[in-house]
Structure 1
Amino acid sequence: MLTTAVLGTGFLGLDLIDRIQNSPSLQCALVVGRAPGSRGLAQAAELGCTTTTAGGIDALLDAGRFDIVFDATSAFDHPEHAKRLADTGAVLVDLTPTSTGALIVPTVNGHQAAAHRHIGLVSCGGQASIPVLHALAQRYQPTYVEMVATAATASVGRASRLNLDEYLFTTQDAIGQFTGAERAKAILNISAAQPAPPFRIAMTVVADGVEQEPVRTMVESAEADMRAVVPGYRVTSCTVTDKSVRVIAEVTATRGQLPVHAGNLEVISAAAIHAAEQHAAATHGAKELAR
């Protein structure tokens, strides 16, 4: 098993811990928060991580070496974390919306995760939209791609609100990379509606020659692949008109640590664990070959 450390004790960090605890190839060895006696650290201990501490990146470095470190803090803090962890040998999985690290989306290029030591997960909007957008771009050359994400205010924490500019830039840039679109745009809405709405992604692709049946087939295939990683993912609408495709998808959380509307958190924590387990599988394979 690979030893892991989690930086961050918000909803996202807690879901990561729960997933690690249920993984056959990962072990939760350390959970790090900032404030001693915080509710997040107490909840991490309740989940079975007996080693929890405050003190941020300093506490993590003092605790020793880990095979994998999950950074669930903020885009402002991640560059410093990456710099200080660079010489430790740990694989760094970045759940913040920074543009550093190799961008991994499980159903698109998840098999490449094991080749990288610094992995970026784009953003929740990127993880939810890129599988569909990439699928369409394999047949049609988009001239414009737009992604509008809507998240419930209760599932968007303080760090995420401070990182909105980074979120939009990183998501937009990644969509362009994965689709080859001439222009790409990302928009994020934070909804205070009650009851809290599920995480929703509206995607628009402008391209010549789009046809209804091929588009629907590709979207349904991308949806099925996503549901294998994120069971609460579903496409609710797929409309094809002259030179444009509009797809709407929703993600509901299906795990106990997250409220049902927090699909934005579930989609990115699932991607993080997928990347870590790819490293675990590669490590196990290397050991088998060495015998």
Structure 2
Amino acid sequence: MSTTKHARVAVLGAGLIGLDLIGKIQQSAALDCRLVVGRSSQTLGLARAAQMGCETAAGGITALLKQGPFDIVFDASNADSHAEHWAHLEGTGAALIDLTPAPIGTMVVPTVNGTEARSLRHINLVSCGGQAAVPVLHAITQHCAPAYVEVVCTGASASAGRATRLNLDQYIATTAAAVRAFTEAPEVKVMVNLSPARPEPPFRVAITVLTDQVQPVPVRAAVEAAAHQVRTFAPGFAVTSLQVSDGRISAVVEVTAEGGRIPRYAGNLDIINAAAVLLAQQHAAARGEVETAS
């Protein structure tokens, strides 16, 4: 007979990202979703979270603080509110995993610097575009010195909720900051497209790297290895195109949502939520918040 101690977690935000995140938390053997918080009791997402079996509350961070303590809090609200959320949670001992593109906290991409997250209390997941692009870019730039990096993220309009649309400027700026930090490229450009096309396109990230010298064989091997690592927690991740020529590397990443409550085209939600849950599990295990005994 075995017993398991679950880390007590709460989710701030009941939009598209928050609801898929709840589903992934419920599938985890290490995490226990104790509370989902929205802005208003009339929020449709709170009603859906309740249907999923979660305790819910309205009133944002104030409501969350009243019903704690929590070991881990996921912020799936919006970038403009995140600094306030951290200010309230910093003294509680809870770890805060940020799924908004707010420019604070330590930027973490699981397959690149995920081991650092185990000792952090304020984890910045950059953006869905960052989670898709950085593993490939980091692999590429281990074999060349980039002069310029361009990242173009294209997602289905239906997969972008209200908070995502409000935070597009922060999304671009924070993604660019992460690309710059993880590749050391002196010049970085990030663009975002929301496509109204039907049928909805999968989440796609086009990457361009300009460099003086590059060797195709090591680059291809590194990218393949990086993609394999990401698929261990986000199975719908695929590098669908990789071209290496003199001075230029072009890659296309596509992410489809696999086995969740969201449509397959919503790979943008899937990859950042999968990263969040993975890091939460690792963080909880490292802090002794999850114990298994037989």
TM over 0.5: yes
User: In the alignment, does 2:149 pair up with 1:145?
Assistant: yes
5 Å matches for 1:6-85? 6-49=11-54, 51-85=55-89
Unaligned runs of 5+ in 1: none
Q: Cα distance 1:89–1:192, how it changes in 2: closer, same or farther (>3 A)?
A: same
Question: 1:26-65: CA deviations, max 9, x gaps?
Answer: 110001011214321121122221x111111111111121
Taking the aligned partners of 2:110 and 2:130, their CA distance within structure 1 comes to 11
Of 112, 118, 123, 1:119 maps to 123
5 Å matches for 1:224-263? 224-263=228-267
Say which SS state the counterpart of residue 284 (structure 1) adopts: coil
- Aligned position for 2:190: 186
Q: Cα distance 1:285–1:20, how it changes in 2: closer, same or farther (>3 A)?
A: closer
User: In the alignment, does 2:276 pair up with 1:264?
Assistant: no
For the aligned residue pairs, the C-alpha RMSD in angstroms reads 1.4
Alpha carbons 2:152, 2:191 under 8 Å: kept: yes
Say which SS state the counterpart of residue 203 (structure 1) adopts: strand
Taking the aligned partners of 1:20 and 1:89, their CA distance within structure 2 comes to 20
5 Å matches for 1:148-159? 148-159=152-163
User: In the alignment, does 2:204 pair up with 1:200?
Assistant: yes
Write the letter of the residue equivalent to 2:263: P
Alpha carbons 2:285, 2:291 under 8 Å: kept: no
Taking the aligned partners of 2:209 and 2:164, their CA distance within structure 1 comes to 27
Alpha carbons 2:30, 2:290 under 8 Å: kept: no
Taking the aligned partners of 1:163 and 1:190, their CA distance within structure 2 comes to 13
Taking the aligned partners of 1:76 and 1:145, their CA distance within structure 2 comes to 27
Write the letter of the residue equivalent to 2:269: L
Say which SS state the counterpart of residue 37 (structure 2) adopts: strand
Taking the aligned partners of 2:28 and 2:283, their CA distance within structure 1 comes to 13
- Aligned position for 1:105: 109
Q: Tell me: higher relative CO, structure 1 or 2? Use CA pairs within 8 A at least 6 residues apart.
A: 2
User: In the alignment, does 2:274 pair up with 1:282?
Assistant: no
* TM-score, with structure 2 as normaliser: 0.95
- Aligned position for 1:162: 166
How far apart are residue 272 of structure 1 and its match? 0.7
Write the letter of the residue equivalent to 2:181: Q
Q: Cα distance 1:287–1:250, how it changes in 2: closer, same or farther (>3 A)?
A: closer
User: In the alignment, does 2:175 pair up with 1:171?
Assistant: yes
Alpha carbons 1:101, 1:120 under 8 Å: kept: yes
How far apart are residue 287 of structure 1 and its match? 7.7
